[in-house]
A = this chain, B = another copy of it.
Amino acid sequence: MPKPTALSGFPELLPAERFVEQQVLATLADTFELHGFANLETRAVEPMDQLLAKGETSKEVYVLKRLQDEGTGDAGMGLHFDLTVPFARFVLENAGKLDFPFRRYQIQKVWRGERPQAGRFREFTQADIDVVGRDTLAFHHDVEVARVMAEALSRLSFLPGFRIQVNNRKLIQGFYAGLGAPDPLTVMQIVDKLDKLPGDKITELLVVDGKLTPEQAELTLALARISSDDTGFVDQVRALGVADPLLEEGLAELAAVIEGCAGITSDRVRVVADLSIARGLDYYTGTVFETRLDGFEGLGSICSGGRYDALASDGRTTYPGVGISFGVSRTLVPLLAAGAVAASRSVPSAVLVALADEESRPRADAIATQLRANGTPTEVAPRPDKFGKQIRYAERRGIPFVLFSTDNDHGDGGAEIKDIRSGDQFPIDPATWTPPAEDLRPTITTMQETPQ
């Protein structure tokens, strides 16, 4: 087989990079579970009709075909392009076996059948949390998912600061209704381009395509420009002089999310009301979320979501939901590539047991077993090379400690440990010794530790 080359859009991590990802996933899972979210994994495939159910023809889907299947034969299945469609299907399929409100988290790969293109992922990992109810779902779950995801991201201490931007579809739609906009959906789609087009171009589009008067267009733009890190946005919106019951409902809900997150914000973690956020064509009906990473704004939103009044429905029963999805690969792959985050070693091993000769391997294995019994990841040298070479073996992998057996001719077992970073060497008892906690597992190092 000639040397294979990487496949564009299918990122793969080397062992030390994968360690960083594992730590991220473990931190996310731990946070979600502390808040009572149960884990689910759904199959990778869904029937094509469900993948395309919401007219998502814009989403590129990979269709499966059995190799042995001659002729027409699609399997009628495609790889899921997000975790929401499979979750909605899972809820309908298993509704009788689930207790509602049902909190779940799901961390899985998703696929997009994109044309190969630089910076465009075709396989990537997402971490989703959702709360779903049967018939009804109280609004306080909107506050809950925002808090849980903000807490999870804030525990990823290697991340730069980030800003969760919250808005509310009721607020926008109520405002447009109060304004008398004839085609609110088109208006929302135009405003959604605010970060791509200049303000006067937006105004023009609002008048021409959005069928607004210039005054209505100005107010629409003024609304989209409001943002605040507290509930100050409420008065700013009222100052625009538009009144509508749905607008009032949206203002109250958005204020509740911002207030509810007040306890977890910091310099690094901000939860702000940003009235430009609309989440495009997605089927949200209330709260909407996006998230920007400081210094990596080019990544777009790394964590998005919102409230669906009908996450799923079988015609008789409707399941409303609210959730957020964190783009793990989208965030981590560029940070790893930029060297902004790395792991301290490429193997789990904290200790290498050195080997004087091949005959002493059983003794080395026995020592390794003692260390592992106390939770210390340990490997035994593959060959009885000169000790200098064995130490370099450890160095290359970032293993901090090398253990030398000091058995004497009388068979008295003994051992010395060498910290190969400092060169210190000292006697230990393998039955009881453990490395310092910070050396037990690989650790994550970040560029931010260097003062900027």
Chain A residues with CB under 8 Å of chain B are 1-7, 10-15, 18-19, 21-22, 33-45, 47, 50, 53, 60-69, 74-75, 77-79, 88-90, 92-95, 97-99, 101, 103-104, 109, 111, 113, 115, 123, 138, 140-141, 263, 312-315, 346-349, 361, 369, 372, 375-379, 382-383, 393, 396-397
Contacts and interface: CB of A to CB of B under 8 A. Distances in A.
A210 to B, nearest CB: 30
Contact of A67 (B63, B92, B103, B369): B63
**Residue from A33, A103, A346 whose CB has the most chain B CB atoms within 10 Å:** A33
Contacts of A95: 3
Contacts of A69: 113
Contact of A93 (B5, B50, B77, B377): B5
18 contacts: A1-B89, A2-B314, A2-B315, A3-B314, A6-B93, A7-B43, A10-B43, A10-B45, A12-B42, A14-B97, A14-B98, A34-B377, A34-B378, A35-B372, A36-B378, A60-B67, A66-B113, A141-B382
Contacts of A348: 33-34, 36-38
A65 B67 CA distance: 11
Contact of A1 (B41, B53, B104): B53
A143 B406 CA distance: 25
A35 B377 contact: yes
Contacts of A382: 101, 138, 141
Contacts of A361: 140
A109 B68 contact: no
A36 B104 CA distance: 32
B66 A60 contact: yes
Contact of A50 (B1, B41, B88, B396): B1
Given A43-B7, A349-B36, A67 B15 contact: no
Contacts of A313: 1
B43 A44 contact: no
Contacts of A68: 60, 113
A283 to B, nearest CB: 13
A36 B377 contact: yes
Contacts of A315: 1-2
Nearest to A104: B15
A92 B38 contact: no
Contacts of A5: 93
Contacts of A98: 14-15
B35 A19 contact: no
Given A12-B90, A39-B19, A361-B140, A33 B377 contact: yes
A21 to B, nearest CB: 8
B61 A41 contact: no
